[in-house]
Every structure is written in C-alpha cells, then in structure tokens.
Amino acid sequence: MISSLSSQTIGILGGGQLGLMLLQAAIDWNLRVHILDPDAEAPCRHLATSFQQGSLTDYDTVYQFGQSVDVLTIEIEKVNVDALEALEREGKKVYPQPSVIRTIQDKRVQKQFFRDHNLPTADFILTDDRGHVTQFTEFLPAFHKLGRDGYDGRGVQRIASADEVHKAFDAPGVLEKAVDFNKELAVIVGRNERGEMMTFPTVEMVFHPEQNLVEYLFAPAEIPEAVNQQAQDIARQTAEAFGIVGLLAVEMFLTKDGDVLVNEVAPRPHNSGHHTIRANVTSQYEQHWRAILNLPLGDTTAYQPAAMVNLLGEPGHTGPARYEGFEQLLGMPGVFPFLYGKAITKPFRKMGHVTVMDTDLERLRQKVAEVKQCVRVVS
Amino acid sequence: MISSLSSQTIGILGGGQLGLMLLQAAIDWNLRVHILDPDAEAPCRHLATSFQQGSLTDYDTVYQFGQSVDVLTIEIEKVNVDALEALEREGKKVYPQPSVIRTIQDKRVQKQFFRDHNLPTADFILTDDRGHVTQFTEFLPAFHKLGRDGYDGRGVQRIASADEVHKAFDAPGVLEKAVDFNKELAVIVGRNERGEMMTFPTVEMVFHPEQNLVEYLFAPAEIPEAVNQQAQDIARQTAEAFGIVGLLAVEMFLTKDGDVLVNEVAPRPHNSGHHTIRANVTSQYEQHWRAILNLPLGDTTAYQPAAMVNLLGEPGHTGPARYEGFEQLLGMPGVFPFLYGKAITKPFRKMGHVTVMDTDLERLRQKVAEVKQCVRVVS
C-alpha cells in the first residue's frame, strides 16, 4: 500500500547525474533511496539515504546490495544482470526487468529484437569480428557499432567504403545501414506494472558533430503532426514489445523519405528528458518513480517549449571544474542550469546541462545561442 | 566568484521541511549544504552534505557550526543570535543578518519596528505582563501575542472583552487591535546584497478556524489590482526597511475598509511559498539561494494559478505516519504532494503539503476540495 511508500527502501545501481536527478525527485515523496556506485566521488554520494561504493558489474556486490532493498532499479545499463535475475527469481522487484536490460546491453540483441518485433529500424547485419565486416563492403556506407559496452559515442564508427573496413572494431558488432536522415528524435515512454503507458512529447536532438553526444535538444520537435504521431506510436509499440516497467527512451531517425526508424533505446531516464524537470508537469524522473512503484503515471504536458544544452567539459581542460559564465546564465530569464557535481572536468565530459524555456520559438533559439556563447566548463 | 559556488560551504540552522526544500533546490547547482538541527530524526538528516545534531539556541554549538561554513543561513528564527552576531563581526556571511533575526524574534520589537518605519500595521500596545494587559480593556477586542517563542498559532490569543482578560499570557507581549479583515495576504520578497529586490505574486491564505495554521492558500490572491499593488509595495518597503539579504515573507491583512496592514514577517522561506516549487519560474527556495549568494534574482512569474493545501496530522492520531489517499492524489492531474519525512504524526502537525495547479480558477477550487476530501495523515 501507498501509505508505506516511505517505509520501503529503493536501491539504484549507479550514482551519476541520472541518479542525482532521481534523488532530487524522490525528495517530494520522502522516498528512501540507497545508491551503489563504484566511484567514491559519484554525484549522489552525499544525497542518498545511504551510499555504498562498489562495483556494478560484480555479481556478489550487486546481489547483496539488491537483497538489502525492497525495489531495485538502475540509472545505467552496464550492471550485472545475472545478479538481477537471481534477485528477480527470489521475488525481488527489479525494474526495469533484467530481461530488458540484458536485451539492451548488447546492441546486436537489441537490433535483432527490433526486427523480431516488427519495429521499423535501419537495415543491419550482425557481424562477429573485423574479418566478418570485410565481407559486406556492398552494404557500406554503414555505422559499425560494438555489441557491448559502447557508451556516449564510444563504440560507434562510420565506415564509408571498402577502404575504411580495416579500421572496423575487431569484436562482435552490428553493421547498420547509414540512413539519410533529417532529424534525430526521441520519445520517452513511462510504463507501470499495470501496463499503463504515457509518453513525453517528441523531442529533437542535435548531436555534436565530432563527439556523437547530444549537444542540444528542442522540445517539442519541429515536425509535421503526422510524423509526430508516428514517432509517438513507434515509441509506445517499442515499450510494449519490451513489456518494460519503468522508462524507455526511444531514439529514432526521421529519414529524408519521411520514415521514422528506431535507432536505439535506453531503459531509464535519459539525456533527452532533462528539460522535463522544468518544462513539463511531470518530469521524467518523477515518472520513473511512478512507473516502478506502480503508481498512476503523471501528466507529461509541457508548460512551454524548451531546449536543453549539455554542459560538456571544454577541450584542452582537465582538472577541478570551474563554470565560467555561470552567474550570467542565472541572470537570463527562463534559463536553468543544472550541475552534476563532478569534481574533475575532462574534454567533452558531461558536467551539467542548461534548460532553456520560452513561449516563443524564435526567442528560444536565440537564448540557446546565447547560453552556448556564455558558459564554459574549464579547469 | 561564481565558479566557486560549489566549493564554498553553506550552513543552515534548522533541518525541518524548509531546510529540506532548500536542499532540494540546492541540488541544481551542486551547493554543499551542512545542517544543524536538534532532532536526530529531522527531515534533512539524510540529504545534507553533512548533518549535525545540536541545539540551535546554544551559543557554542551555533558559533562552532557557523565557523565551519562559509555562508550561514536559517530556516527557523529561534536560533542563538548572539552567536550569529559574533560570527558576523568576524566577517562571516550570515544571511539573513542577525539584526533582522533579532528584531523578528520578539513580536514586540517587530511591531515597534513597523511603527518606527511607517509601515502600516494594526494599532497596538506593548504589554509587560497580565496585570498590564488588564489596564487596556477599552482597547479590546484584541489579539494578545507573546513577545517571544510563539510559533504556528501557539502564543496568540484573542481577548474579546474585559471578561476574558484573566486568561492573558502573563509575560511580555503585544496587544494588537483586532482588525476586521476580509482576507489575509502574503508576499515573499527576495533581496540580495546588491539591494536588488524581486517579489512573488501576492497570495491569499485561508486559516484553519481552530488552529491558526494556514489551511490552504491561493495564488494569485483574488483581489483588485490596486490592492495587489498596495500589498506588493508594502512588502517591498518592509524588506527595504529591514535591509534584509535573503527572503522576507510579509503577511498582511486586507481590512474591510480596503487597507493593507502588515501583520508579521518571517526572514526565510515560508509556508505561503511552497507552491512556487511547481507553479513559478523560480521557487522561493531557489530565490533564497540566489539572494544570500548575491546572485541575480530569478523571475517569479507563475506558469498557472495554484493552490496549496497543508497536510496536517489528523486529530486523534499520534504515531508513525501513514498517508491515506496518497495514491489517489497522484492520479489527479495537476496535483503535487510533498511529504516532509516526519516519522511521527501528531494532531495538526505539518506533515506535508499538496500543490494544486490549474489554468481555470473554478476547476482549481474544485480540485482543492477534492484534495482535502481525499487525503488524511493518520497513525
């Protein structure tokens, strides 16, 4: 019963910025949240009911941490799924479900899952190693993605032609037809135990040209309503196919032909939903709690159009972080910086983000440009 | 410089619900916040950078706690001001300033301050003890308020006539002419070191008939624009008179004659501003940080009309708290409960609040009625 919300304990595997924003949302309902993270300096270290330093990939550590809580969730996919499955078998609530995490951990399995469930996705070939890749030069240009352990652009390479095949990762991967796309879209779906679903408005992601990291994002995406409907439907179908309990962030391509294709998914709060803290009735973080605690899902309506600018560590700067221009940011109306509390900045490290809001789209774009001009994370 | 925002340490005297909401807002900017509170089970106990159990009224405890931080603030007025003054003399930033806290701690001094600064306030007489009160029967009906240590309705009595004078508190107090008022209003003012000021929209408080506690509140107040302007001006004048750095919540009466009179003030985040977390561009909690850290003050515009319902412990229930109807609340659109994490409920104890929002005032009122019907804090 709900009266016991604050008497149950929740564990999160991972104590980074997503965990931090989950903790911030958890304060509203006085949820007791315990964190496991390998980094003693993780952003969540001071703000959890308890913080345990330990490996997320070690069976015993994850298993024992899971046993100490009533509900277990994640803020990062790279965790020991065997331990989660053992906990699930023993009746522990583990959301998202270990089977979902297992499927998503390996991009090969994930892609095959899309195909098996008739979810539209770019054509692909599963490859075993570099030698295998060289057999498919007629399939190029393509993206070659490592099956496991890719993260934030690492583990993804573009192979334009046969000349470049020699640089392919020499490990199991997926060779994905390079799609001519106009936009990259994302929809975050919340789904609870009862199977209720609620989607956030479709957003448009703009990637950093070099780093394959989201550089900024607009919400809502500027797309025709029919395309929006397609993106929303595909996101729901994807969440339904997984049967996920929790959040599923569905990244999609809008091709030049007007098709919407699933690119990849994440079973947790996502970079493409940071702005919802300020801009939407329910944030993705609160929605995560609602979904995994089997509560009614919250209204996802936006109050105003919003943009999100990632605060990435400036190239050439490694060391204790300083935020140049932070005070000017705070003087700009409708501009909301959020810092992740990472002591050390490195080139392109995600150090924070800035949510920007405005009722007028042109002014919103103008403000985004000003924010990007104004703030730098340096050492 | 602002780049060092997260390297400086902030201390809060008090770790109750106001401290909790300050901590929640502090997460955005990765502020390091240390808490001192006498209660080992205070709401802030798990969520601060550090939590120290100790007396807020003991000179040495407050002085030493203050020495350990760079900026010191409060979430409750009943603190040792001598220690704060010593710290201030030594160059510590103490906001609000000790002189402001000293004035406000004693309702006699506070009332005299209003008079000395030509701030409109109900006529009053300072009284030394019960015997003194009996000399002013022609001044009745009046409210008799204890000079010191009144809180949440305790320490305030209505004395209707000479027959009731025998029940007057036998301590220094203030006898305040009972005002025929239509509404009770409040305006929260933020003021930073540079003297910049920003007010939140005027709200209307509805008190519990028995408990002299805010039962619910509407924002914005339904008052003519001229009255609103008067309330806003008086609030600004009051903050200016104190020269406060921080927040000043100014409670006012709107009399039947259309006058606005200052009732009392609080130099900190206030019950009348809880709804700003959800309803306003900048919350009162974020504004407090902006004010005391000498940052630009934030936009106080409301996204939508809002109401706030206090969650008070149900009469007849003392013990571990349960929140009946909480799940139904979460299913209501635009309804945002906030629980303070107090383990034990007691009759009329403030256990949480619910913010209610709607674009339509009639629906807003309807929702408030539903919320009050729906939820009960029981043991």
CB B232 within 8 A of CB B254: no
Residue type, B226: A
Question: Among the listed ranges A9-23, A241-255, B201-215, which one has the minimum average pLDDT value?
Answer: B201-215
**Token duo for residue B241:** 């008179």
Task: Say how many domains are in chain A.
Answer: 3
Same domain as A185, residue A132: no
In a domain, B265, yes or no: yes
- Per-residue pLDDT reduced to its tens digit, B102-142: 999 999 999 999 999 999 999 999 999 999 999 999 999 99
Q: Is A5 a residue whose pLDDT tops 60?
A: yes
Same domain as B144, residue B10: no
A49 in contact with B at a CB cutoff of 8 Å? yes
B317 in contact with A at a CB cutoff of 8 Å? no
pLDDT of residue B151: 67
B5 in contact with A at a CB cutoff of 8 Å? yes
- Average pLDDT on A295-307 reads 97
A196 in contact with B at a CB cutoff of 8 Å? no
- Any known ligand binding at B264? yes
Which domain CATH number covers B348? Answer: 3.30.470.20
- Average pLDDT on B288-303 reads 97
- Give the Cα separation of A310 and B64 in Å (integer): 40
- Assess: ipTM above 0.90: yes
Stated as kind and residue range, the H or E segment containing A339 is strand A335-339
Q: Which of B87, B41, B45 shows the shortest CA–CA distance to B62? A: B87
Beta-strand runs (E) in B200-242: 203-207, 214-219
Same domain as B171, residue B185: no
**Which of A94, A111, A146 lies at the terminal end of a domain, its last residue?**
A94
Same domain as B170, residue B185: no
Same domain as B331, residue B305: yes
Contact across the interface for B49 and A46, Cβ inside 8 Å: yes
Contact across the interface for A3 and B326, Cβ inside 8 Å: yes
Q: Is B282 a residue whose pLDDT tops 60?
A: yes
Contact across the interface for B337 and A29, Cβ inside 8 Å: yes
At how many degrees (to 10) do helices A107-116 and A98-105 cross? 110
Distances (CA, A) of A254 to A181, A217, A218, A305: 5, 15, 15, 20
Q: Is A95 a residue whose pLDDT tops 60?
A: yes
Same domain as A319, residue A238: yes
- Average pLDDT on A81-109 reads 97
Same domain as A84, residue A204: no
In a domain, B9, yes or no: yes
In a domain, A109, yes or no: no
- State the nearest Cα–Cα gap between A355 and chain B, in angstroms: 11
Contact across the interface for A334 and B299, Cβ inside 8 Å: yes
A344 in contact with B at a CB cutoff of 8 Å? no
Chain B nearest-CA residue for A324: B3
Same domain as A29, residue A81: yes
A95 in contact with B at a CB cutoff of 8 Å? no
- Give the residue from A7, A28, A285 with the most B CB atoms within 10 Å of its CB, the best one to mutate: A28
Same domain as A371, residue A300: yes
B173-177 vs A306-312, strand pairing mode = unpaired
Q: What is the pTM of this model?
A: 0.95
- State the nearest Cα–Cα gap between A64 and chain B, in angstroms: 22
Chain A nearest-CA residue for B50: A46
Query: Range of B245's domain?
Result: 181-378
In a domain, B114, yes or no: no
**Token duo for residue A125:** 């070939």
A10 in contact with B at a CB cutoff of 8 Å? no
Contact across the interface for B327 and A20, Cβ inside 8 Å: no
- Give the Cα separation of B298 and A334 in Å (integer): 9
**Token duo for residue A10:** 């929740």
Same domain as B70, residue B131: no
A313 in contact with B at a CB cutoff of 8 Å? no
Which domain CATH number covers A129? Answer: 3.30.1490.20
In a domain, A105, yes or no: no
Same domain as A199, residue A143: no
- Per-residue pLDDT reduced to its tens digit, A52-83: 999 999 999 999 999 999 999 999 999 999 99
Which domain CATH number covers A88? Answer: 3.40.50.20
Looking at per-residue pLDDT, the higher value among A6 and B290 belongs to B290
Q: Which of B27, B45, B28 shows the shortest CA–CA distance to B36? A: B45
- Any known ligand binding at B138? no
Same domain as A210, residue A168: no
Alpha helix (H) residue ranges in A134-281: 225-242, 276-279
- Give the Cα separation of B72 and B92 in Å (integer): 8
Contact across the interface for A3 and B341, Cβ inside 8 Å: no
